[in-house]
Structure 1
Amino acid sequence: MRSYVKRVKQKAEKLSKEQVLSLLEDVVDENENLFSVLESLSTGLLIIDDDYRLLRYNTIAESWLPFSERLEDILGTENAIWEYVEDEDVSNFLRNCMEKNTTNCSEDFSTVTSGGSVRFLTVTISPLITEGELNGKVILVRDITEKKNQDILLHRMENLANLTNLAAGMAHEIKNPLGAISIHIQLIQKALAKARENDDKLPAPKFVEDHIDIVNEEIEHLNKLVMDFLLAVRPVKAQLQLKEPDKLVENLVSFFKPEFNREGIEVIFKSSESGKRILLDEKLFRDVIMNISQNSLAAIKSKYIGDRIGAKFCISNSVRENKFIITIADNGCGMSEETLAKIFEPYYTTKANGTGLGMTMVYKIIKEFSGEIIVDSKEGEGTAFTITFPIPQKDTKLLTSESR
């Protein structure tokens, strides 16, 4: 159709009025067809010029991205499209691409709908080519929420496989308090039976009470075990959103650093300064960092009794091969090979009052974030946790319009 219109354009002066009207009808029909195609796409589409001013759009783009004004009212304005995008992360992405004059770049974002649910979007900027020349840009908006939710569901199903080990550990743990309760109840029963044979003369007042106190203690212990077990087997209800781990870790370090400093421990934090974001739940992420840091604090205090000169706790962030890596290290007492091998097993603990579920939960949460965690430790030297998270969408190679 385009070549036909070009040919007619060259002979426009020779056309009759009827031929011109017929040509206009053909152009209108073609335009309507193109408009129908745009509206039928499952991908949001924003066509912009080199200054990011809106030229055309389809309805689905408006429903997926939050705008401060209707797109219909933005058409023809002198302002860049990013000025109307209400989501700060998306707006900054578009503005940076405009300022750097980049195309062929893509990034994932999470947005919260008016109903409170989280939607995951991929925003891609591609060049708009007309007759072999760059003539603006195309912003594509794809909804990847279903795919993300399927990935999350898969990880949760994998986590359910650990229930067998948890149940076995629970069964083992409840045997001891149940055995103690049984023994002390038997002793009370024997004492009462003896009293009946002795003219109902009860034993010394403290005798029965001592046994009952122990029974109550063991019942309380059992209750705690059951509550911890329920906590361990309950699915992690993560509200995953794209967040900058550098900022989150920096805030957490600022929170617990005074406690470490009061104990004479030097705290070192190194940001990746990458600006990368990963999928995580901010509250659960905080639980992971705080749990590991408190274990490090205990390990350092165990080694450095009294003088803590040289005691260090370090958190270092980095990005490598499209992975975000957090390394948490201390030069505390370290772990034995046995402890290192069982650190993530439920109910395994070296602490007198520990539940043995803290590191199990750390492991579960990291897996929920599609991450990995490994531990390196030497007894008497220290411990290092390395946590690796995938970066959801690696920026593709950036091309400037000048390089085309």
Structure 2
Amino acid sequence: MFFSVRLFLILICLPVLAVSFPAPAAANLVDSPSKQLDKPPAKKVYRIAGEKHLPPFSYINKKGKFTGFSVELFNYISKEEGVEFQFYPMNLYEATRALKSGKIDAIMGLKYSAEQSERFQFSEPYFTMTDALVVPKEEPGEVKSLTDLRGKTIVMQEEPVAFDLLLNVRQVEFQLALNAKDGLDFLFMERADALLTNKWTADFYLEQAGEKANYRLLEHIGVPSDFAVAVRPGEKELLSLINDSLARMQANGEYQILYAQWFGLNPDGRLKEMRNWIIFLLVIIGCALIVLIFIYLWNKRLKKEVAKRTFALAQANSQLEIQQHAISEANAFKTQIIHHMYYGILTFNESLQLTSLNERAKEMLALEGKEQVQTADVLKLPLIARIIDNYETFRESKGEPQLISEEVELELKGETRFILYRLIPLYEEQGKRNGCLLTLADRSEAKMLEKKLATQEKMRALGQLVAGVAHEIRNPLTSMKTFIDLLPRKYEDPEFRQELIKYVPEALRRMNTIVESLLDYSRPKLPQKKRLEASSFIQSVTAIIEPTVKKKSVHLRLEVEPGLKLICDPDQLKQVMLNLLLNALDSMETTMKKQLIIKAGKREDRAVIKFVDTGAGMEKEDVSHIFEPFYTTKPHGVGLGLTLCYQWIKENNGDMQIETVKGKGTTFTVILPAGKKEGT
């Protein structure tokens, strides 16, 4: 009886075992005669890099041949696809650098990670593994998990997956190695307490070094990682070739044969798997009996459940009718809102056929009174025809537009109107474009108000300018008038004549300075733009004021980005920089800390120069007027220096900004167009 039961179980398991243990592969899979194809006259050649110290996946054997599971896998792909792979054994960091620079076309056996996926494209995985930990057997304090590694030194190969794993363990020190072989050497020399790598590579080198009895492997320490092929972004042809070949190998069993050739189960593993399959079949049979009993009992309750569900369905239908009514009312409410909006709204389908428009759009397009507006009635209008032409022209020349907006002027009912339109593509949930939305806004009243505000602003600025000129000129005129009034009585007085000679020319000089500065401000001068090397230009300007800086005991520091280029008028920029530097020196007259920093760098396509001082700073109310003519915080200032600087920077297509804190210092920021670096 016992023999019969064993025979029955063996007969049941035979089909399963036939699937579990594939026939052993030939010594060289890619040399099988059945796989030989007629070679084309010229094969496409791909350069493939692989880790040279990663057995049994890719390594150089004792005969000097580059071999391994990954290498044989690619040899099979080359035979099947009719291409040629040239293999380049190297360390992993060399391979990633070579792939990024284009010296190779792909890296085989690279672990997938989110960081690497931003730089490269990955194929479908052809192997999945979990890192193991190699530790000495005689290590004090048994290591069973990652938390036991606190206070220890771990040697590992530099890769994002391993870093992410060990960064979650506190108080762990890292020792980086070029590869697993070098990592084991660190372990043998007791320069590390453990090695993190895959179990196959560790087992290979431990056995090769005769140290297998002195070390033990802790498997399944990390999370599973996918081994895949990495290519440069855009290399779709090679990526598709590899993915298709891997899929075919999985389907026809060639992958399983190659896997068994390099990672075949040992006899103990086969017996264990056979026992597991027998247990699995017995569990399936028991579950089937339970399911049959359950089905029988379930059928008895089915009629009662059907009646209950029918009643629930009737209630659901009633709720559905209520919801449909609510949706209908909501749609009517939305329709009323759309028809009474200030903006005109039109929608078109993919064929540019009119699908809807609101009452405001009819009013703006002079279509009021028409119950049914046809597409032809709308498309023949000059404004709509112009918008559609712009949309189609943009789509043909630049691809799919995201937004088209323009303000147009047109005659409508005998009046000049300014219409701002926005044309926006509409998409379905799946991302497919199904039409476009056109909104119309009448900006005629806004335009009129803008003109009035502009006129008022000009008059305010003119009044402020006249008041400033009058104030600045009145002071020296008052001084001169005083001397002229005293001239008849005190002309013979030598002391009076000395005072006259001293103060009257000074007053005239100040008046002349005010007039010249005013002329520079009011008379536009086209900048003579050049391409400047920022570092040398800034150093040449600072050299001019270096004696003043040393005299005032100010510490000057330059932080200029190498290779930064500026596009501007050098004379105007020099005057701007000198003005800002002198203002900064004046502001630090009474401060204890005297430090002036010039920072220059690139932000997108703009060059940014910052002048940071530790001076007295300014009040908030002063900042809003700092660039206005004749506004100054200095006792003897004219108030046109920063105004001219601001005007010159604007003429060079730039901008000037200010940040200040009272008592802590001021930062002036000059933004200018940046030139490209040499060779780019």
- Could you tell me the TM-score, scaled by structure 1's length? 0.46
Higher RCO structure (Cα 8 Å, ≥6 apart): 1
- Could you tell me the TM-score, scaled by structure 2's length? 0.29
